[in-house]
A and B are shown apart, each in its own frame.
Chain A
Amino acid sequence: MKRAAAWRAVVIVLFLVFMIVPIIATALFSVSTRWDRTIWPEGLTLAWWVKVIGRSAFQDTLGNSLAVALATVAVSLALVTPTAYWVHLRVPRARPWIELLALIPFGLPGVVLALGLIRLYSNVPLPLINTANILVAAYVVLTLPFMYRAVMNALEAIDVRTLSEAAQSLGAGGWRTLLSIILPNILPGVVNGSLLVFSTVFAEFTLANLLIGTRFKTFPIYLVEFTRFDARQASALAVISFLFAWAISIAVLLLAGRGGYRREATGGR
């Protein structure tokens, strides 16, 4: 019995070391004066953080990423929530097809989606290629699995049919029923999905790099540029992205306790 406990402790400690050391190292590196010759940092400083945060390019790219992430969440919500409600209530026969649409992005590498979108729209006279519009559209596709699953799972947990019939017998129309009866009941799921979409988009590099490149820099693009010429400031930027991911994941976990769901795969590697 004792040997079994020791085995478990070793496995868990090794796992913790592997998962946490890179993060702590990056955080420490971002506040070190110099740390490339000695075992421990030669001194501590906040200079890199001050430098990074003071730059207008930092604020611009952070703003761009927040704007794109919020726009993606808004479009995804407007598209997915009514669809999921409608499929669940009125056209259950369409369900396999909608689920297929929500599964395909898992099997679509970012580089391939970018290639397809550029092939399709590069010669179309619409404000798409090289604008943030195409990026938001691509992100809605990329995150479709997360939003769809979150909303659908929330709908399955409540009695949609009875609620809708009750609302309609009191004279509410379809949209009114969705917005003021169904939506409040599935809100944890909707918020959950929105947070997952937000964090995926905020950290996404591939599509941003290939679809817009330098014309509209997002935060991850800015970070990668920095890794090429200033490691200390890049480490501060990396810590900022880790903090964002932590904050959002913790919010998701707290919500998950209230009828949420867990993401099964990831996007934006």
Chain B
Amino acid sequence: MTGGPRMESANDPRRHRLRRGRAAWLGLVPILLFALAFELLPILMLVHSSLVTDDGFGLGNFGRALTPTMLSAFANSIQLSLVTAAVGVGLGGIVAYAIITTRSVMVQHALTALADVTANFGGAPLAFAFIITLGSTGVVTLLLQAIGIDLYPGFRIYSVAGLAIAYVYFQLPLLILLIIPALLGLEREWREAATSLGATSVQYWLRVALPILAPSLLGSFLLLFANAFGAYATAWTLTGPDINLITVQIAALVRGEVQLDPALADALALLSIAIMAICVAGYHFLTGRVRRRAS
């Protein structure tokens, strides 16, 4: 996030004329007030109410909030996020490598543009497109039936497996956009050096390329995980309340469909934030390190 050209130097005399000391911080009051009102206070409110119990501060609410239903909601969300992030990194990495090693520059540009556009798809229209495609009378379902492959009833698009396919649809292009800069950073000379020292292609990938790419891959994996974990619109459109994900449970609590002590609902929300925060912080740390090394 940081980086870029630094225009000023520390001993530049003009600095003092432009700087008016602490008063300059006043210019940040509008954004700080806004962020306080609509970003920080809502989070702090949840932190506070989930930590307050009958006998002072404590973690009691978390223990009581994690009923078997909620535990399984967390388990489902984590599993769905792990699987779609892993598939996204694995398949997306291969597609990204295929894209950057294609000789035709036009094909490269077209595929990158496709990834750029489809990474913006998601939510309700995407979920619905998958119902049309892979639903019980979906287009591809019918096509496969015609050649003798019956998807139903073994598979249902309205299930966790179906949801995973829809998630992969937005995970793949996101990974491609994230990883292409790192792949382009692999110097051709490194491969030539490895080959001239007698390394096979597999050895080059395992001993040279993958260790260099590891921080980018891991960082992207974490961001994809968070991307899936916080998703709600796709799941809601595809499966409604039938699927037990933590975001679906929290939304039901917000709408008042499920009655629960507010403190317990807030504890669930705080647990989700904690999981997301670990992922986003990890992503930030790993890719920040990559960028520093690159410059």
Contacts and interface: CB of A to CB of B under 8 A. Distances in A.
Interface of A: 7-8, 11-12, 15-16, 18-19, 21-23, 25-26, 28-29, 35-39, 79-80, 82-83, 86-87, 89-91, 94-95, 98-99, 101, 103-120, 137-138, 140-141, 144, 149, 153, 156-157, 159-162, 164-165, 199-200, 203-206, 209-210, 213, 220, 223-224, 227, 231, 234-235, 237-238, 241-242, 245-246, 248-250, 252-253, 262-266, 268-269
Given A21-B140, A26-B132, A91-B25, A112 B46 contact: yes
15 contacts: A26-B129, A89-B18, A99-B1, A104-B43, A107-B277, A108-B276, A111-B247, A111-B254, A111-B272, A115-B269, A156-B3, A199-B120, A235-B132, A266-B122, A269-B170
A141 B2 contact: no
A87 B28 contact: yes
A35 B231 CA distance: 30
A156 B39 CA distance: 26
A260 B4 CA distance: 14
A38 B247 CA distance: 37
Interface in B75-119: 94-95, 98-99, 101-102, 107, 111, 113-114, 116-119
Contact of B98 (A12, A80, A99, A200): A12
Contact of B18 (A113, A164, A252): A164
B233 interface: yes
A262 B174 CA distance: 11
B38 A138 contact: yes
Contacts of A246: 117
A171 to B, nearest CB: 15
A91 B28 contact: yes
B16 interface: no
Contacts, number: 302
Contacts of B276: 106-109
Given A22-B133, A249-B120, A266-B120, A79 B30 contact: yes
A119 B42 contact: yes
- Interface residues of chain A: helix, strand, loop or mixed (majority): helix
A205 B238 CA distance: 13
Contacts of B40: 104
B236 to A, nearest CB: 7
Nearest to B31: A83
Most chain A C-beta atoms within 10 Å of own C-beta, residue among B116, B130, B178, B262: B116
B227 A269 contact: yes
A162 B14 CA distance: 10
Interface in B220-272: 223, 226-234, 236-237, 247, 250-251, 253-255, 262, 265-266, 269, 272
